[in-house]
């Protein structure tokens, strides 16, 4: 999947590939790249990946990426939870050793 972005600060593109591991586990990875309007020298690069457990109504997503705007490179992490029912969304899917 791909896309473009246009805004007051600049323009860019996004590339993303999604994976389905089973009925409840999903993943994706991709790249977001943006440039300023003046000469494009102020570029921002964000490679990312995430894993999701659940469905559209109830899920947990854990993601991470590396934000690179010249230097230094900064790690980005996120955790998102959407629940319309119970917070124990993936409990039955996680096997305990």
pLDDT in tens, 31-52: 999 888 887 667 888 899 999 9
Q: Does the pTM of the predicted model rise above 0.85? A: no
Short-list 54, 70, 73, CA closest to 62: 54
- Structural contact between residues 46 and 31, judged by C-beta atoms closer than 8 angstroms: yes
* Confidence bin at 91 (pLDDT 50/70/90): low
- Span 67-94, mean pLDDT? 70
Higher pLDDT, 38 or 92: 38
* DSSP string computed for 31-92: EEEEEESSSS-S-EEEEEEEEEEE-SSSEEEEEEEEEBSSSS-EEEEEEEEE-SS-S-TTGG
In the chain, what are the domain boundaries?
A: 2-93
């Amino acid at each position: 999947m791909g896309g473009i972005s246009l805004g007051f600060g600049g323009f860019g593109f996004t590339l993303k590939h999604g994976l389905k591991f089973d009925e409840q586990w999903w993943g994706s990875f991709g790249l977001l790249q943006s440039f300023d309007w003046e000469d494009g020298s102020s570029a921002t690069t964000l490679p990312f990946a995430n894993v999701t457990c659940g469905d559209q109504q109830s899920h947990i997503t854990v993601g991470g990426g590396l934000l690179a705007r010249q230097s230094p490179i900064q790690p980005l992490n996120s955790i998102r939870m959407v629940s319309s029912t119970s917070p124990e969304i993936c409990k039955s899917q996680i096997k305990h050793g």
